[in-house]
Structure 1
Amino acid sequence: MAEQTSGATTGMRRVLGMPALVVFGLAYMVPLTVFTTYGVVTESTGGHLPGAYVVTLVAMLFTASSYGRMARVHPFAGSAYTYTQQSFGRHAGFLVGWALLLDYVFLPMINYLVVGIYLNAQFPVVPGWVFMLAAIVLVTGLNVLGIRMVTRMNLVLIGAQAVFVVVFLVQAFRVIAGDGTASLNGIPSLTEPFFGGDTSLSRILGGAAILCLSFLGFDAISTLAEETREPRRLIPRAIMATTLIGGCLFILLSYAGSLAFPHWQRFSSVDSAALDVLRHIGGGLLTAFFTAAYVAGAFASAMASQASVSRILYAMGRDGVLPPRLFGRLSARFKTPAVAILLVGLVSCVALVITLDLASAVISFGALAAFSFVNLSVIKHYLLDGRRRGPLAVLRYGLVPAIGVALTGWLWTSLSGITFVIGGIWVAIGVGWLLVLTRGFRRPAPKLELEHAG
């Protein structure tokens, strides 16, 4: 086992303040990710995408509060894995870390799928799989070479997306105003995109469960605790601010799109439905602007997510959780975990055959499982172990996280059956591997160092 060192002994500089933390969280979330599952969730909810985002935001705010509570007592990298390990022990921590890996393995696939879908929509003569395969090869090659510039482009990417958001909203409300009233567009009232009509609550909850992937990023802020000036104070605030800002942006963008183009039954393709909305709102110019900004953001996100999961696999190999001879070595030439990077690139080829809605749901499976354990960790640490008493303590450390558990659990059970099959197989593999590592639970579970996990 490699010797582990804390952030204090490795000399990491505490230079991050509130603005930098929020920018990091928003860059990780990618504000334009609202268009990734725009058609999929709009169709599954019967045109109530904004309503599904409201449900998801409420659930995420309760969970974000729990992340903030745990960040105050454990201001270290590792996030949900660390909080679960400290509260429920190594075995539970291992399995939560294993569930997080499912997110990170599938997250690059989402980006490759988006690249293929939207470039194919712009250049239909070229099959989407060609764009996907080219992106996989390029991103994998750059990661092997050790490219790290993506982390320095967060502010630039956020700025570019902010410009697009402003242009989109101006154009969308211009179209709405030009039509006179929303009812002329076929919408009975301005509240219809939220919870109106005959769509059942179960359909909205199913869509909300998928939308959890849009919020992946607020939790990643907690991994910067060892580089933040006042982590116990700033990390919780940044987590809540990022969740609220990101959620409001998602709701506003989806609401504007729903009012400007309510004819969701006419989508040419649910996977690229956002392009139908954009063409209606701003024509070819806005569509081209979106495609360029979104594909560039997806490419950068693919680089970051593939680099993250490959480093996690390397750490697991280094710590003996995975075969160290295969995963625990760096390339002698490039000083990167080349084997892990190549493996992730190979697994990412599943994007050539998987659907966007299934990949999105699988990511949400792991995220919701981790979110549930963070909420439970608050109850365990403060009420049971810390013996906090009194009405205020019960409200803060009991009722709020309990609502978070209930909401995330509700969303979790709203996922599709095939999602549970894939997630269940992944968990079963993790349990089996844990049995091997612990010799049938006769030895303590290894400590996974998930510095970059969310």
Structure 2
Amino acid sequence: MTTDVTFRHQLLRRKPVNAFLADADASAHGGGLRRTVGTFQLTMIGIGATIGTGIFFALDAAVPEAGPAVVLSFVIGAVTAALTALCYAELASAVPVSGSSYSYAYATLGEFAACAVGWCLLLEYAVSGAAIAVSWGQYLNDLTERLFGFHMPDAISAPPGAGGYLNLPGAVLVLMCCLLLVRGAKESAVVNTVMVLLKLGVLALFVVVGATGFHAGNLHPFAPMGMAGVGAAASTVFFSFIGLDAVSTAGEEVRNPRRTLPLAIICALVVVTTVYVLVALVGVGAQPWTSFKGQEAGLSVILSDVTGAGWPGVLLSAGAVLSIVSVTLVVLYGQTRILYSMGRDGILPSAFHRVDARTGTPVLGTVIVGSFVAVLAAVVPLDVLADLTSMGTLVAFAVVSIGVMILRRTAPGLERGFKVPGYPVVPVLSVAFCGYLLYGLPLATYVMFGVWLVMALAVYFFYSRHHSRLQPGDTDEATEPALTL
């Protein structure tokens, strides 16, 4: 009987918020992560992690599913992201530490749920990083062909399953980003900011020039696949809103986190949503929706067709090449910080928590992440990567919304730099929208996700619960019983 109680306690024990904050302070003063990132740079991290995944290549996959109504698909994704962004903003201001949804789940739902969410995040970031890197080869090919007449063979540059066998450009991109991340968070944030500003300039060029080729007739029929197609496309493109989560992974490297985190999340969402809807509307208005299927580097092709000249396409392809680098960089950054938090808590080996004394970065964790993502980018088909990313993202988003409601009840007096307006309607709607988008994912994605969770369960039962810092009987302040319902 005692064993059963102890086992139940292991599954449900929660890490107090003050323990998270104590760990963060101890880390900052003990050679851990350093607070070097400001509001503007953090907002650029959110934008950098988002724009590029959806607009630069997802239209080619989403438009055939929904037709011109793909604009509504992005709106549905944006509404879901907005509801969740408000929940992220509150939890990020209340628990301003690294780890994102994993840390929030640990503080509200318990250790077992946190472990599962952590693995969802690892899937989300690893798979999305690979998906982004895979698309890089397409735009790199488009750029080199326009400039030099050179085109890499599809066998080594196209996505696996779409004419390619081994995507070398994607793997190389991941490894280059890892080298930059190893140098330091501040250096990575500066490089990312420059690339994001270039990316926004290129997309502004697309909207302005592409609008000159807008034909209202291309919007008819508006929804050839009906609302079912709109929903399916929304599920496909939703992974493009992953950047909001990346902002919250930087909790321990941000100055004045209680204010900076929620402000950066909301600013990033506003910019991203505006850009997505404008580019999608101009794209489907400038080209018949039936032309998107099987099209590579679609935005570049649209500009070339509209202007009849080659230079707009060259600029857009160059911007896409740079922007996808920034997305990959931030996604890899986010995953290493989640692993850092899980390693610190004993959920994963402590090697992931080890920080280089000179650079202040988790070098070993970055190398491991980079190697794994590079392999995924090289050998896994793009459509599989996109759907798996959506699955991991939606589960993590739903947990954050649930966590807001739990923490409001268990810790009503906790200091919060931001509170969700319209509580509890907003978090409830967030969970409902996430459920709607999950329903639209294919059965094969659920099967693969189930296999991933089985692996997570195995790691938890055979390793994590025995090495967790929240051991029964431990008298350390960080392991005192958490708040109860």
Name the TM-score class by shorter chain: 0.7 to 0.9
Match of 1:276 in 2: 301
The reply on whether 1:239 has 2:265 as its aligned counterpart is yes
Match of 2:128 in 1: 107
Residue identity in the other structure for 1:163:
G
Match of 2:91 in 1: 70
TM-score, with structure 1 as normaliser: 0.81
Match of 1:140 in 2: 175
Bigger mean CA offset, 277-286 vs 248-257: 277-286
- Aligned in 2, Cα 1:15/1:344: closer, same or farther, shift over 3 Å? closer
Mapping for residues 354-373 of structure 1, pairs under 5 Å: 354-373=380-399
Identify which of 155, 160, 185 aligns with 2:198.
Answer: 160
Alpha-carbon distance, 1:140 to partner: 2.2
Q: Deviation digits for residues 273-321 of structure 1, max 9, x if unmatched?
A: 3343232234421221111121122234334434553565566567654
The reply on whether 1:292 has 2:318 as its aligned counterpart is yes
Distance 1:362 1:108 in 2: 12
Identify which of 290, 308, 311 aligns with 1:265.
Answer: 290
Q: Percent identity?
A: 26
Asked if the contact 1:313–1:340 (Cα under 8 Å) also holds between the matched residues in 2, the reply is no
Asked if the contact 2:93–2:258 (Cα under 8 Å) also holds between the matched residues in 1, the reply is yes
Alpha-carbon distance, 1:227 to partner: 4.7
- Aligned in 2, Cα 1:365/1:445: closer, same or farther, shift over 3 Å? farther
Alpha-carbon distance, 1:220 to partner: 2.4
Query: Equivalent residue of 2:435, what SS?
Result: helix
The reply on whether 1:150 has 2:188 as its aligned counterpart is yes
RMSD: 3.6
Distance 1:228 1:138 in 2: 26
Asked if the contact 1:32–1:294 (Cα under 8 Å) also holds between the matched residues in 2, the reply is no
Distance 1:299 1:445 in 2: 41
Match of 1:80 in 2: 101
Q: Deviation digits for residues 372-415 of structure 1, max 9, x if unmatched?
A: 01111111121466499xxxx99833221001100011111111
Q: Deviation digits for residues 75-133 of structure 1, max 9, x if unmatched?
A: 22222111111111111111111110001211221232112222334547422453431
Match of 1:452 in 2: none
Q: Deviation digits for residues 315-368 of structure 1, max 9, x if unmatched?
A: 65676544568x677899999645862564255333334332221111111110
Distance 1:44 1:445 in 2: 50
Task: Report the number of matched residues.
Answer: 427
TM-score, with structure 2 as normaliser: 0.77
Alpha-carbon distance, 1:160 to partner: 0.9
Residue identity in the other structure for 2:123:
L
Residue identity in the other structure for 1:106:
V
The reply on whether 1:206 has 2:232 as its aligned counterpart is yes
- Aligned in 2, Cα 1:208/1:339: closer, same or farther, shift over 3 Å? closer
Asked if the contact 1:116–1:130 (Cα under 8 Å) also holds between the matched residues in 2, the reply is no
- Aligned in 2, Cα 1:151/1:321: closer, same or farther, shift over 3 Å? same
Match of 2:64 in 1: 43
Distance 1:153 1:425 in 2: 37
Residue identity in the other structure for 2:219:
I
Match of 2:23 in 1: 6
Asked if the contact 2:99–2:339 (Cα under 8 Å) also holds between the matched residues in 1, the reply is no
Distance 2:38 2:245 in 1: 16
Alpha-carbon distance, 1:35 to partner: 1.8
Match of 2:211 in 1: 173
Residue identity in the other structure for 2:200:
A
Identify which of 278, 303, 316 aligns with 1:252.
Answer: 278
Alpha-carbon distance, 1:229 to partner: 4.8
- Aligned in 2, Cα 1:397/1:274: closer, same or farther, shift over 3 Å? same
Distance 2:316 2:83 in 1: 32
Give the unaligned 5+ runs of structure 1: 448-454
Bigger mean CA offset, 156-165 vs 23-32: 23-32
Alpha-carbon distance, 1:233 to partner: 3.6
The reply on whether 1:92 has 2:118 as its aligned counterpart is no
Match of 2:77 in 1: 56
Asked if the contact 1:16–1:228 (Cα under 8 Å) also holds between the matched residues in 2, the reply is yes
- Aligned in 2, Cα 1:93/1:445: closer, same or farther, shift over 3 Å? farther
Query: Equivalent residue of 1:218, what SS?
Result: helix
Distance 2:266 2:213 in 1: 33
Asked if the contact 2:98–2:251 (Cα under 8 Å) also holds between the matched residues in 1, the reply is yes
The reply on whether 1:187 has 2:222 as its aligned counterpart is no
Distance 1:313 1:129 in 2: 33
Asked if the contact 1:90–1:445 (Cα under 8 Å) also holds between the matched residues in 2, the reply is no
Q: Deviation digits for residues 226-259 of structure 1, max 9, x if unmatched?
A: 4545433443233222112211110011101111
Identify which of 447, 456, 460 aligns with 1:430.
Answer: 456
Distance 1:35 1:62 in 2: 24
Match of 2:163 in 1: none
Identify which of 25, 34, 42 aligns with 1:21.
Answer: 42
Alpha-carbon distance, 1:56 to partner: 0.7
Distance 1:315 1:14 in 2: 16
Match of 1:450 in 2: none
Residue identity in the other structure for 1:109:
A
Distance 2:350 2:469 in 1: 19
